[in-house]
């Protein structure tokens, strides 16, 4: 049986354990859970290792990063991962039960799979469909990760864009999974879901859209006031960091990679 390593970066805060209980449960409740041997690696800041009883309760391996950043945590998880497949999931996000089933199927004709996400607020109220391929929706063979390499730790906010930019340089095939009612032809997607069209256009045209059979996204994403994007919107100093990172990406790739 092939193995899947799911890497969860997690910061210490009041809801950390509640988030991890929910995210790890969503992994174990996958309809394809019996098709692969799933190993969950939770990566935390240095000195913030989770207690042994919590690790045992969650059924996880916990590793410490060398720096207090998301990229460093993700890379610490990558260094500890030994699965045939690699996936990422933010600790406050969840996979819907069929995510892995659809994603593994898509990998039969691609080297990297992502998905749209349903965004919810802290009251569990649906907000919108997020078309950008956040890491919580990524699944790939280990060979793809090895070819692209780890996350660039010089990026604070746009490390996912930077990684996707390097992915585009490899020429590897990508599939972005969308809801059963979503447009998959750019002619129809561009006017009504421009971000969905961007996934294709800003991937260097290496990504194709593919419908699954559900009317809603395969990943649920929590939007809250302490998230990186919310803090960027609220704090001018962080906005400047974000703008500088985006300019750096545009200079390197002649676009912001998606």
Instruction: Look up the CATH number of the domain holding residue 86.
Output: 3.90.550.10
Give φ, ψ of 219 to 5 degrees: -130, 140
Maximum CA extent, the chain? 53
Inter-residue contact 9 to 70 (CB < 8 Å): yes
Amino acid 228: pLDDT: 73
Residue 86, CA distances (Å) to 16, 22, 76, 83, 256 in order: 22, 20, 13, 6, 24
Amino acid 157: pLDDT: 95
Amino acid 229: pLDDT: 76
Number of domains in the chain: 1
Domain with 97 in it? 3-253
Amino acid 234: pLDDT: 81
Sequence-separated (6 or more) residues with CB below 8 Å from residue 149: 166
Residue 48, CA distances (Å) to 7, 73, 78, 134, 228 in order: 16, 11, 18, 25, 20
What is the Cα–Cα distance from 153 to 159, expressed in whole angstroms? 7
Amino acid 219: pLDDT: 99
Could you state, in chain order, the average pLDDT of each consecutive group of 10 residues for the chain (258 residues)?
A: 97 95 98 97 95 97 94 98 97 98 98 98 96 98 98 97 98 98 97 98 96 98 81 87 97 98
Would 68 be classed as within a structural domain? yes
What is the Cα–Cα distance from 155 to 218, expressed in whole angstroms? 27
Would 138 be classed as within a structural domain? yes
């Amino acid at each position: 049986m092939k193995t899947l390593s799911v890497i969860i970066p997690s910061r210490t805060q009041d809801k950390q354990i509640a988030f991890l209980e929910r995210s790890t449960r969503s992994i174990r409740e996958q309809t394809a859970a019996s098709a692969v041997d799933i190993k969950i690696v939770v990566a935390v800041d240095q000195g913030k290792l989770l207690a042994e009883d919590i690790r045992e309760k969650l059924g996880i391996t916990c590793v410490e990063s060398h720096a207090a950043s998301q990229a460093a945590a993700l890379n610490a998880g990558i260094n500890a991962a030994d699965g045939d497949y690699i996936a990422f999931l933010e600790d406050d996000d969840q996979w819907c039960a069929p995510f892995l089933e659809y994603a593994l199927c898509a990998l039969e004709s691609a080297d990297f799979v992502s998905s749209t996400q349903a965004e919810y607020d802290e009251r569990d109220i649906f907000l919108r469909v997020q078309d950008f391929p956040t890491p919580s929706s990524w699944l790939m063979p280990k060979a793809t990760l090895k070819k692209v390499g780890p996350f660039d730790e010089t990026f604070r906010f746009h490390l996912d864009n930077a990684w996707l930019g390097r992915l585009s340089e490899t020429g590897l095939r990508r599939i972005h999974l969308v809801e059963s009612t979503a447009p998959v032809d750019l002619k129809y997607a561009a006017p009504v879901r421009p971000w969905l069209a961007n996934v294709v256009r800003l991937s260097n045209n290496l990504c194709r859209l593919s419908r699954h059979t559900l009317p809603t996204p395969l990943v649920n994403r929590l939007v809250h006031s302490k998230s990186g994007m919310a803090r960027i919107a609220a704090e001018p100093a962080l906005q400047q960091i974000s703008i500088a990172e985006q300019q750096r990406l545009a200079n390197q790739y002649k676009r912001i990679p998606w």
